[in-house]
Amino acid sequence: MSEDDSPIPGTIRIKRQVKARWDPSLKRFAPLTEPYWEWDSTILLVIDAEEVVDKMLHGQDMLLDWIRDARLLLGLESSVQIVVIVKGLGRYQAKTKTLANREFTAMARAGLSTTSSTSNATAATTTRLDKDLIERNLIELQVQEGVFIVHGA
């Protein structure tokens, strides 16, 4: 399925040609007289790390709702496996850490005390989520919805 045909951006669905079926009694594949095409039972959803963070910032269950909406919009059965590929998560986390270090360094150079610098640093970086919080939400998504999470480059 092309991305233009999908109601959800970043959806990759694979169609495969079936030329043989597994015969459990013979324990081998038996060729079919008429090969046919069928949708694979796995769906790939590609999403940027920034989109994941935006969904988390808009609501606690927004990420779970996104997967549930995807299942409904694509008309997927519960047996269909969803793989979520999060692009740029490592880069996002590295950038967040770098920004926090720069803010701390700037406050230290300004001569602020450590108690006021921590409160100012957390207030300044509220738009960027902590690595642990992102991982916790992704694990929650994986457990509650049964999806696989892949960290893409």
Of 87 and 78, which is predicted with more confidence? 87
Q: What is the pTM of this model?
A: 0.72
Mean pLDDT for the chain overall: 83
Query: Closest by alpha carbon to 62, among 145, 4, 123?
Result: 145
Cβ atoms of 61 and 35 within 8 Å: the answer is no
Instruction: Read off the tokens for 111.
Output: 């001569």
Stretch 44-73: mean pLDDT, rounded? Answer: 88
Q: Evaluate if residue 112 carries a pLDDT over 70.
A: no
Pairing mode, strands 11-23 and 28-48: antiparallel
The answer to which of 26-40, 70-84, 112-126 has the lowest mean pLDDT is 112-126
Q: What does the domain layout of the chain look like in residue ranges?
A: 11-152
Of 81 and 115, which is predicted with more confidence? 81
The 10s digit of each residue's pLDDT in 95-111 is: 878 887 888 888 888 87
Pairing mode, strands 11-23 and 148-152: unpaired
The 10s digit of each residue's pLDDT in 26-50 is: 999 999 999 999 988 899 999 998 8
